[in-house]
Structure 1
Amino acid sequence: MQNNNPLKGINYFFKGFSLIIQPGIRQWVLIPLLINIFLFSLLIYLGWLQFQTLIEIITVQLQTWLPNWIIKMIDWLILPLFIMIALIAVFFTFTFLANLISAPFNGLLATAVEKYLTKKEPEIPYQPWYKLMSSMIWSPIEKLLYYLRWVIILIILSLIPPINIISPILWFIFGAWMVSLEYAAASGENHGHKAPAIRQILAKKRMLVLGFGSGILVGMLIPVVNFLIMPVAVAGATCMWVYEFVEK
C-alpha cells in the first residue's frame, strides 16, 4: 500500500532537514540550539578551571618523586587530554540535554511548521486550566507505563529461545515506534489529541511511521547530525501528520 510505505516515512524524516531552515521556523530551532551552545560552553569553561586546579594539585604531589621532564610532559598532555574528555562528554550528553531544553519549544516548532505547510495555524481546542494541569501530570506517567509495559514484554521474549534470535529486530522496531510517538506528540497535541489517541492515529499507517522512526534512530548514531535530531524529527513528524493524518 503506497500510502503506508516505510520509504515514504523515511522521506518525511529527511524533509525535516529542509523545513528547519525555512523563515518562520528556524528561530524555534536556533533559540534552543543557542541555549545549548551557551550552557555547554559555560560547562566546558568551568570544567577547564576545575581540571586545571586538579592537575596542579596532582603535579605538586608528583614533584616529590618524579623527574622534571615527566612533569613537563604531563603539562604538555593536559590540553589534549581535556579536549578529548570534553568531546566525549559532549557527544554522550548533548543529545539528552538538547532534548530536555528543546522540549518546551516543540509545540511552537510544530505550530510554525504546520503554518508554513498549510498557510494557517492549527486550531488548538480550548481546555480549562484544570484539564491542562491534569494532562501535564498524567501524560508523562501514562507514556512511561506504556513504555515499561512493552519493555517488560520484550525482555521476556529476549529470554525465550528461539524467539531471542530476532529480539534485536524487535527492539529496533520498538525503538522506531517510540521515537515516532515522541516526536509526533507536539503535532498531535496541537490538534487536541492525548497520547493514547495519538498512538491510535499513527497506528493507521504503522509501516510508514516505523519508516520515519527508523530514520530517526539511524540519525541519532551520526555525529553532528544527532545534535539536530530533535528539531528535524519534530518538523518531519509535523509534515507527516499534516499530509497523512489530518482529515482533508
Structure 2
Amino acid sequence: MIGDFVTGFVYIPRGLALILRPGLRRYVILPVIINVVLFTSAFVLLLEHLGGWLDGLLPHSFAWLAWLILPLLFLALSLGVFYTFSLIANLIASPFSALLAERIELQMGGRPPSANAGLKQALRSALIGLMTQLSALAYQLIRLLPLLLLFLVPVVNLVATSVLIAFSAWMLALGYLSTPMGNHDIAFREVRSICKQRKALILGLGTGLVLLTWIPLLNLLALPAGTAAATALWVEKLSPAHR
C-alpha cells in the first residue's frame, strides 16, 4: 500500500517534466493562462478575507490556543479556496486539457480514440471531456458542502482540516484522471470504480496534486502538470493493458 502511495505521488514531478517536452508546450499555454487568472483571483480573495474568516472560526474561549489552531485553520481555508478554484479551472480548461492528455498519451505510445481522426472527432472528444468534468464537479460539490459545514462548529473544525485534506486528495485525483479516461469515452462513474481498485495509488497522486495546488507559483502550473501526471498514470497503471 505504501509503495503504491509513493508511486502515485511521484507522478507529480513526472507531470511537471512532461509538459516541458517539445511538441506539448503549445497545448500547455491556455491551461496555464487559465490557471494564472483563477489562482491569482484566489490569492486576492484570501488576502482580503482571510483575517475575518479566521476570527469567525476561532472561538473566544480557545483564544489561548490560537498559536495551534490558527495555522490549522489557515491551512484548511487556503486549501479550500485553492481547491474550489481548481475545480473551476478544470471545468473551464477541460477541452484544452483533453487535447493535452491526448498528445501526451500519443507520445507515451498510447492511441486515444481521436488520434487519427479529424476535427469532428476532436470536437466530440472535447465535448465528452466537458461532460465528464461536469459530472465530476457535481459529484464533488455534493460531498464538499456537508464537509464545509463542519468548519462552522468550534473544535470540530480542527478535525475537519485533516478530513478536508484527504477529501481534496481523492477528489482532485478523480477530477484529473477523468480527463485522459474521458478521452476513451469512460464515464465518471466508471472512473470512480476503476480508481477504487487502486486506492493507495490514487491517494498518492491526489496528495501530490494537493501540494502542487497549495504551493505558490508551482500552483500556476497545476492544471497542465496535473493533467500530464494523471495521463501518465492512466497509460502506465490504469489502462486496460495494466488491469
Q: Same fold (TM over 0.5)?
A: yes
Q: Which runs of 5+ in 2 are unaligned?
A: 39-81
Query: Percentage identity across aligned positions?
Result: 31
Aligned residues: 192
Q: Tell me what 1:19 maps to.
A: 18
Deviations 1:178-229 (A, max 9, x none): 1111111111111110111111111111111111111111112222211111
Rounded Cα–Cα distance in structure 2 between residues aligned with 1:134 and 1:35: 18
Deviation of the 1:157 alpha carbon: 6.2
Q: Tell me what 2:189 maps to.
A: 196
Deviation of the 1:166 alpha carbon: 3.1
| Aligned partner letter, 2:229 | G
Q: 1:207 to 1:161 in 2, by over 3 A?
A: farther
Q: CA RMSD in A?
A: 4.0
Q: 1:96 to 1:193 in 2, by over 3 A?
A: closer
Q: 1:25 to 1:139 in 2, by over 3 A?
A: closer
Indicate conservation of the 8 Å contact 1:124/1:192, yes or no.
Answer: no
Q: 1:15 to 1:152 in 2, by over 3 A?
A: same
Q: TM-score normalized by structure 2?
A: 0.64
| Aligned partner letter, 1:123 | P
Of structures 1 and 2, the larger Rg is shown by 1
Rounded Cα–Cα distance in structure 2 between residues aligned with 1:24 and 1:112: 8
Q: Tell me what 2:99 maps to.
A: 108
Q: 1:142 to 1:28 in 2, by over 3 A?
A: closer
Rounded Cα–Cα distance in structure 1 between residues aligned with 2:97 and 2:35: 15
Rounded Cα–Cα distance in structure 1 between residues aligned with 2:107 and 2:161: 38
Q: Tell me what 1:227 maps to.
A: 220
Deviation of the 1:140 alpha carbon: 5.5
Q: Which runs of 5+ in 1 are unaligned?
A: 41-91
Rounded Cα–Cα distance in structure 2 between residues aligned with 1:247 and 1:171: 31
Q: Tell me what 1:242 maps to.
A: 235
| Aligned partner letter, 2:237 | E
Q: TM-score normalized by structure 1?
A: 0.62
Indicate conservation of the 8 Å contact 1:13/1:236, yes or no.
Answer: yes
Deviation of the 1:147 alpha carbon: 1.8
Q: Tell me what 2:163 maps to.
A: 170
SS of structure 2 residue aligned to 1:5: helix
